[in-house]
Amino acid sequence: MAKQKTCKNEHWPRQALVTGAALLLLLFLLPLFLLPQEEPPTEEPEPTATLPLLTPASVSPVPGWDQSQTLRLLRSDGRVENVTLADYLWGVVAAEMPASFSAEALKAQTVAARTYCLYQRAGAGDKHPGADVCTDSTCCQAYLTREQASAAWGANAQRYADKITAAVSDTNGLLCLYNGQPIDAVFFSSAAGKTSDAAQVWGSEVPYLASVDSPEGDEVPGWRTVVTFTPAEFTQKFTLAHPEADFSGDPAGWFSALVTNDSGAVDTVSIGGVTVTGTQVRSLFGLRSAHFTAAAGDAVTFWVTGYGHGVGMSQYGANALAGEGKTFDEILKWYYTGISVGGWEQ
């Protein structure tokens, strides 16, 4: 008994000391974990000067989710490689959005890209047998390897790489959901005041792809472009696609009956007596968008505003909204009508 007592008396102070030391250590370390993760000072000002330093997250990421998803990625050289969704998304965001954009815009882009990827994978069918996604922007989404991105970014490479890594991990597992399912989260570069309704561009109604206001404007590089053809070039291109067109009259009458949709983009226009859609004209003459006016005379001229198909999220619009202080989920809900942002309960 005596021995036991002695033993206890000898051990108690040591245990108390160890516990005390651990508590003290915790007290010193805890504030380090609670400190906001600030971006390192930058050489050039970010376009988000009005954003508070720490934006409260209204939706929480799902740690580990992107790392648990594996994709078969078809590379441009034909190799198919297994990559995690986290790695794939890094390359997509690097390729699809300027890395100089603000953090909330990059996060909105990441969630849109993650959602678009899963939506595409579910309905991929036999677009590329043996692979879930490819690196061709006209088929799936654009993609840059770390080396390609680094070369493109030059002196900013490390800072931009870190920004994209943060955008992916800060939104881990988050998707745009409609009726609990990932949406067709299409996006494009810049709008001319408003986005377009999916029905007006692709002919079928999608409830969450409705026309909404988009705040970007002349600050966007190449927002307004002018495209000119000689009358011979113009009539040749058009006649190749529409042999029935009649360009025998005065060029001033070649364009008629131009009808615009709610977003101001060209819905239909008559060219040489043939009615075509704005999207067809855009594709035929390589215009940056279907938001244009046109005139024919000694030359045929298109005045074009914005860049892209105009449906879903505008990337420059997302950056403008982020500059106004909107968070990534607010930006996504702005462009995709009636959605929620969260983890996917399959």
Binding site for Zn ion (CB under 5 A): 134, 139-140
In whole angstroms, how close is the CB of 134 to Zn ion at the nearest point?
3
In whole angstroms, how close is the CB of 75 to Zn ion at the nearest point?
11
Residue among 139 and 299 whose Cβ is closer to Zn ion = 139
In whole angstroms, how close is the CB of 127 to Zn ion at the nearest point?
5
Residue among 140 and 176 whose Cβ is closer to Zn ion = 140
Asked whether the beta carbons of 279 and 177 are under 8 A apart, the reply is: no
In whole angstroms, how close is the CB of 282 to Zn ion at the nearest point?
22
Residue among 85 and 294 whose Cβ is closer to Zn ion = 85
Residue among 88 and 238 whose Cβ is closer to Zn ion = 88
Residue among 102 and 141 whose Cβ is closer to Zn ion = 141
